[in-house]
Chains A and B, each alone.
Chain A
Amino acid sequence: MEVRVQNIVKQFERFPALKDVSLDIRSGELIALLGPSGSGKTTLLRLIAGLESPTAGQIFFGDEDASLKTVQERNIGFVFQHYALFRHMTVLDNISFGLRIRKADRRPAKADIRARAMELIDLVQLSGMEKRYPAQLSGGQRQRVALARAMAVEPNVLLLDEPFGALDAQVRKELRRWLRDIHNRTGHTTVFVTHDQEEALELADRVVVMSQGKIEQAGTPDEIYDAPNSPFVFSFIGQSNILPVRVESGQIWLEDRPIGVESAGTADGTANLHFRPHDIGLQDGCGGCLAGIVTTSRRVAGKRHVELDIGQQHARVEIELPADHPATEGSRVAFRPTRFKLFQA
C-alpha cells in the first residue's frame, strides 16, 4: 500500500524530533531511512506505525487518513531490533498471534491460521522449529520469527526498526540478502531504519537520508551515492575527503595553486571540495594537481589505501590506488579528483 507522510512535525517535550517531514512511499517499495542517531528516523517509523502521534501533519495509507487511526486499526507489521518475541509462546504461537486474537468475525478458521503460520515458517526457513520457544533460538532465527509474525497479519506496510542491528556481521549479511529475497517474493511495502549506509545502499530501492529531524535527500542508492545534494549526505554516505578551496575564473585553487580541475558553473569565492578516495586519477608531473607525501600505505583486500599529507594545516587526504602501486611511506604522489562536488563554505 502507498504511504504518504505529509508535513509531519513531532515535538518531544521541548526537543523537536521531526521538523516538517514529507515523504511519499510507493506501493511495494523497499525503502531505507538512513541517518545518524538522533536524526529522527526511528521517530518517523514509529509515527507511521501509530506508536507515536504527530504534533502536526498527517499520514495517509492509500487515500485514507491513518493519523486518525490507532495502532491496532492501522494493520501494520513492526519488527524491533531486539525481536520482542513473546517468550512464553512457541514459534508457531508467536507467528499466529496476530490472527488468533482477531474478533470472531474476522478470524480465520483454526486450521487456516495454522496453515498460514506454517507457510510463513517455511518462508523464513524455520521449518521443523515451530514447537521451539524463543529462548531456544539464535539471534538470527529470532529475528526471522519476528518478521514472520509481522507478515502474518498481511500488513499494509512492514516497518523494521534496525532489524539487523543486534546481529553479528556474518548473520547480518546473510539476513540482508534473505530479506531482499523475501521482499521480492511477497511485495510488501517495507520501510526499514538503519544507521548502516552499506545496508541501506545494498538493500533498498530508495534511500532516505535524514539528519537533525529533516530529510536531507531521498533517492535511489545510485543517486544518493553519485549525486549527494548536501555536504552532510556526501560525508555520511561512503568515504570522502573535504578540502577548503577557492573558485576563481572557472578554476579550483588550493591555497595559491590551481589543482587542474575546472569548477563547472560554481560562482567565484571560497568553497569546500568533496571527493571520494576512489574518484581520482594519478598524475605524473604536476602542472596543476594535488600532491602530497605518503604517510601511511595499507593494502586492504584488492586495493591500496594511501594517506597523503598535502601540506599546510590540511587534514590528511585518503585515496585508493591499485594494490600493486608502489607507494611507500615518504614517497610523493600527485593526483586530480575525477569526480567531485563543490559546496558553498
Chain B
Amino acid sequence: MEFGTVKRSQWRSPSVLPGFGLALGATLVWLTLIILIPLSGLAVRTSSLGWAKFWAIASDERTLKALQVSFGTAFVAALINVVFGVLLAWVLVRYRFPGRRIIDAVVDLPFALPTAVAGIALTTLYAPNGWIGAPLASLGLKVAFTPVGIVLALVFVGLPFVVRTVQPVMEEIDREVEETSATLGANRFQTIAHVLLPGLLPAVLTGFALAFARGVGEYGSVIFIAGNLPYVSEIAPLLIVIRLEEFNYPGATAIAAIMLILSFAMLLVINLIQAWSRRRYGYGT
C-alpha cells in the first residue's frame, strides 16, 4: 500500500495554469455546435448523392469554371493585398504624419461596410459609364462585369486582413536589427529585402491566408460587379445560390463540399508552412 501518493492519469501533469480539461471541453462543444455540425450536414447531404452523381456535378463544365473563377480571383486579389497591405502597414507603423489615425481607422471600413454596398459602389465607379470606368473604357479596358471586377471587389474586402495581421508584427521589429544591417554595409533596399521582409513572412502568410479565404467565400460585393456570366465571371458561391433557387439541393451541396475541401486543404498547407517557419526561426516563442 502506498501512502500519500496521488495517482494521476498520464494526461494530467501538474500545472500552474489549471482548467485545461474545462477549457478544452468548452472549446470542443462550441466548435462542434458552430462549425462541425453544419459542415457534417453538408457531408451527409453530399454523400447521399452517390459517387457517380457527385462526380457528374463536380466535373460539370460550369461548376469547374465557377470554381476556377472563385479560387483564381481570390488568389490574385490576396496577392495584390499582400503587396499593398504590407506597404500600407509599413507607412502606418513607420511614419508619423497628420491624418495617420484616420487612415488607420479607414483600413477597417471594409470589415464594417455591408459588402453589397461596397459592390454597388465599386460597380458604379468602374462601370463603362462610371467616373473611373469611362476613362478606362476609352483606353479599351473593361473592369466591371469581368473577372478583373471580381478581383477589385475581393481586394477591397480582403485588405484589412493583411494590414491587421502584419501591422503588430512590424511594430515589434527591433530597430537594432536594421541598424546592424546598415553598419554591415547594407543599403535600405537590401535591409528591407534580406532582413525585414523575411522576418515578416509568417505574418504575411497569415494575412494572405485570411484574405484568400475571405475572397473565396465572398458573395455580396462580387455579384454586383461580376456581371455573373456563366463560364466567364460566375463565382462558385453564386452558382450554389442558383442551384438552390432551382431546388437542386444535391447540386448545391456538392459544389459547397468541393469548395470546402479545396479551402481546407489550402489553409492547412499555409498553416503548416507557418508552423514550420515559426519553429525554425523561433518567432512567437
Looking at the complex, which of A73-81, A210-218, A286-294 is the stretch in contact with chain B?
A73-81
Q: Which of A47-100 contact B (CB under 8 A)?
A: 49-51, 71-72, 74-78, 80, 82, 84-88, 97-98
Q: Is B60 an interface residue (CB 8 A)?
A: no
* Least Cβ–Cβ distance between B15 and chain A, in angstroms: 24
* Structural contact, A71 and B176, CB atoms closer than 8 A: no
Interface string of B269-285 (1 = CB under 8 A from A): 00000000100111101
Q: Is B25 an interface residue (CB 8 A)?
A: no
Enumerate chain A residues within 8 angstroms of B174, measured Cβ to Cβ: 82, 84
Q: Which of A103-162 contact B (CB under 8 A)?
A: 133-136, 146, 149-150, 152-153
For the complex, would chain B's binding face be called helix, strand, loop or mixed by DSSP majority?
A: helix
Q: Is A180 an interface residue (CB 8 A)?
A: no
* Structural contact, B180 and A101, CB atoms closer than 8 A: no
Q: Which of B226-285 contact A (CB under 8 A)?
A: 277, 280-283, 285
* Least Cβ–Cβ distance between B68 and chain A, in angstroms: 35
Q: Which of A269-328 contact B (CB under 8 A)?
A: none
* Least Cβ–Cβ distance between B194 and chain A, in angstroms: 7
* Least Cβ–Cβ distance between A114 and chain B, in angstroms: 17
Q: Is A102 an interface residue (CB 8 A)?
A: yes
* Structural contact, B187 and A72, CB atoms closer than 8 A: yes
How many chain A residues touch B (CB < 8 A): the figure is 30
Q: Is B186 an interface residue (CB 8 A)?
A: yes
* Structural contact, A153 and B282, CB atoms closer than 8 A: no
When A84-B174, A101-B194 are in contact, do A153 and B283 touch as well, CB less than 8 Å? no
Which of B184, B199, B277, B281 contacts A97, CB < 8 Å? B184
* Structural contact, A86 and B285, CB atoms closer than 8 A: no
Which of B179, B199, B277, B285 contacts A51, CB < 8 Å? B179
Question: Can you list 11 A-B contacts with CB-CB less than 8 angstroms, sorted by A residue number?
Answer: A77-B183, A85-B177, A87-B199, A87-B283, A97-B184, A97-B194, A133-B280, A133-B281, A146-B180, A149-B184, A153-B184
Taking Cβ atoms with an 8 Å cutoff, the residues of B that contact A are 174, 176-177, 179-187, 190, 194-195, 198-199, 201, 277, 280-283, 285
